[in-house]
C-alpha cells in the first residue's frame, strides 16, 4: 500500500490542471491484480446481454477479474451465473457459447450439473458402477453461484456479493434513461471487435469525455464541442450533446446524444430520437480487453437491412477510430515522459477525473486485501 500511495502522489497533489492516473495504473500487473480484488469484485460489472441466451440450456462463458464464469439460461427462463469450474478436477466446463440441453457436462469425467447448478452425476467416482460413497455429498458439490442481476437486456455480476442492490447502485444511470420504453427496445445487430490492445480504463475514459469527438470522429460525426457537456452523477459518468436541430444523414451522426457509463465497465449511448448502443467491455488484463457493441432501436422499429448495414458500418468506423486512440494512449504510457500521468481539462475531462478518483478510492480502500 505504501508503494501504491507513492505512485499516486502526483495524481493526488492538487495541481491545476490535474494529472491523470500514473502509468502504472494501466501497465502494472500488481495494479491489475488489485483491480481484480476491488474494482471488478466490489461493483456490478456488465458481462453480457440476455438476448444472447434465448433458450433454456443456452450457456455463455465470460471472464470477470480473471475468474471464469458461465452464464446460464435456466429451465424457468431466468439467467444465472456460476463459476465455470467442475467440482471434481476444477476444469472449466464451458469454453464457447452453445446450448447444453438440460445438463452442463464436464468433458473430462462426465460429471454433470443441471441448469440450477446442482450436481446430478459423478459416474464411477467410488469405483465401477459406484457413483456415490460415504463422505461425498453431491448436494454440497454443485456449481458455485456468482451474484448476478439482469437489468433490461444486460447481465451484471457482483463477484464478492457485497454491492448494494443493482437498482440503487445504478439509480443515477436509470433516471438519466428516463423516458425510454424498454419494452420497445429492439436488438438490431452486434459488432464484435474481439481483443483491443489497451487497458480497459482507457476505453472508459475515452467514452466519457467529449473533447476528442471533433478531432477523432470528424468524418463520422457532426457534433460541435460547444454543444457538449460532461455528466458526473454518482456511478454514472459521461457526457451529452444537445443539438437544437437534428441534421443527421445516413453515414454520419449529428443528433442529440447521451454518452453514459455505469461504473466500472458499462457503456450506453442514446442517440435521439430512437437509437441506442451498448458496449460490452471485458477487461482481460492490464494490456487487453474484449469489446462488443450491441445496437438497438428504442421504438420497436424494424429497420430495413440496408439501414442496419449503414448503422453497423458507421459504428464499426467510430469504434475503430477510438481503438486507435486508446491503443496509442496505452503504448504512450510506457514512456518516461508519461510519468506524471498527463493532464486533464477541468472542463471537458472532469468526468474522466471522477472515474479515476473512483478507481483510486476502490484500489486503496482498506478491506484486508
Ligand atoms: Fe470516440
Residue with cell 442492490: 165
Å from CA of 192 to ligand 1 middle = 17
Q: For residues 46 and 32, is the Cβ–Cβ distance under 8 A?
A: no
Å from CA of 217 to ligand 1 middle = 7
Torsions phi, psi for 36 (to 5 deg): -60, -35
Query: How many CB atoms within 10 Å of residue 77?
Result: 8
Pinpoint the alpha helices (H) of the chain: 2-7, 24-27, 29-37, 39-42, 166-169, 171-176, 200-207, 213-216, 305-332, 350-364
What is the structure's pLDDT at 369? 45
Q: What is the pLDDT of residues 150-194, one digit of tens each?
A: 999 999 999 999 999 999 999 999 999 988 999 999 999 999 999
Where do the domains of the chain lie, and which CATH numbers do they carry? 2-43+166-364 (3.90.380.10), 45-152 (2.102.10.10)
Å from CA of 209 to ligand 1 middle = 8
Å from CA of 131 to ligand 1 middle = 56
Over the chain (369 residues), the average pLDDT of each successive run of 10 is 87 96 98 98 98 98 98 98 98 98 98 98 97 96 98 98 98 94 96 98 97 90 84 97 62 78 98 94 98 96 94 96 98 97 97 98 80
What is the structure's pLDDT at 367? 66
Å from CA of 32 to ligand 1 middle = 24
Q: For residues 241 and 256, is the Cβ–Cβ distance under 8 A?
A: yes
Å from CA of 20 to ligand 1 middle = 18
Read out DSSP for 172-189?
A: HHHHHTTT--GGG-EEEE
Å from CA of 316 to ligand 1 middle = 12
**Which of 331, 345, 319, 313 is CA-nearest to residue 217?**
319
Å from CA of 358 to ligand 1 middle = 22
Read out DSSP for 109-133?
A: T--EEETT--EEE-TTTTSTT----
Amino acid at each position: 500500500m505504501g508503494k501504491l500511495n507513492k505512485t499516486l502522489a502526483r495524481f493526488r497533489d492538487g495541481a491545476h490542471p490535474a494529472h491523470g492516473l500514473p502509468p502504472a495504473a494501466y501497465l502494472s500487473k500488481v495494479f491489475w491484480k488489485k483491480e481484480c480484488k476491488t474494482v471488478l469484485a466490489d461493483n456490478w460489472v456488465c458481462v453480457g446481454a440476455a438476448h444472447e441466451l434465448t433458450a433454456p440450456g443456452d450457456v455463455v462463458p465470460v471472464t470477470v477479474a480473471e475468474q471464469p464464469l458461465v452464464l446460464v439460461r435456466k429451465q424457468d427462463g431466468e439467467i444465472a451465473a456460476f463459476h465455470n469450474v467442475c467440482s471434481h478436477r476444477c476444469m472449466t466446463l464451458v469454453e464457447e457459447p452453445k446450448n447444453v440441453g438440460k445438463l452442463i457436462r464436464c468433458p473430462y469425467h462426465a460429471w454433470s450439473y443441471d441448469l440450477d447448478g446442482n450436481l446430478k452425476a459423478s459416474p464411477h467416482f467410488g469405483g465401477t458402477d459406484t457413483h456415490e460413497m460415504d463422505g461425498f455429498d453431491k448436494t454440497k458439490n454443485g456449481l458455485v453461484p456468482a451474484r448476478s442481476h439482469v437489468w433490461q437486456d444486460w447481465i451484471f455480476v457482483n463477484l464478492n456479493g457485497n454491492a448494494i442492490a443493482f437498482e440503487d447502485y445504478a439509480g443515477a444511470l436509470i433516471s438519466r434513461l428516463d423516458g425510454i420504453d424498454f419494452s420497445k427496445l429492439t436488438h438490431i445487430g452486434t459488432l464484435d471487435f474481439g481483443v483491443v490492445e489497451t487497458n480497459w480504463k482507457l476505453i472508459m475514459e475515452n467514452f466519457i469525455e467529449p473533447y476528442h469527438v471533433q478531432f477523432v470522429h470528424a468524418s463520422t460525426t457532426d457534433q460541435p464541442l460547444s454543444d457538449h457537456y460532461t455528466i458526473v452523477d454518482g456511478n454514472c459518468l459521461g457526457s451529452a450533446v444537445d443539438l437544437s436541430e437534428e441534421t443527421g444523414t445516413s453515414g454520419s451522426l449529428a443528433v442529440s446524444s447521451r454518452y453514459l457509463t455505469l461504473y466500472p465497465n458499462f457503456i450506453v449511448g442514446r442517440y435521439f430520437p430512437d437509437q441506442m448502443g451498448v458496449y460490452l467491455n471485458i477487461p482481460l488484463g492490464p494490456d487487453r480487453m474484449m469489446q462488443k457493441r450491441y445496437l438497438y432501436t428504442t421504438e420497436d422499429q424494424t429497420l430495413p437491412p440496408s439501414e442496419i448495414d449503414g448503422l453497423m458500418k458507421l459504428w464499426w468506423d467510430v469504434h475503430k477510430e477510438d481503438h486507435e486512440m486508446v491503443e496509442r494512449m496505452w503504448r504512450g504510457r510506457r514512456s518516461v515522459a508519461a510519468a506524471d500521468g498527463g493532464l486533464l481539462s477541468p472542463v471537458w475531462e472532469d468526468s474522466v477525473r471522477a472515474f479515476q478518483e473512483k478507481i483510486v478510492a476502490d484500489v486503496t480502500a482498506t478491506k484486508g486485501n
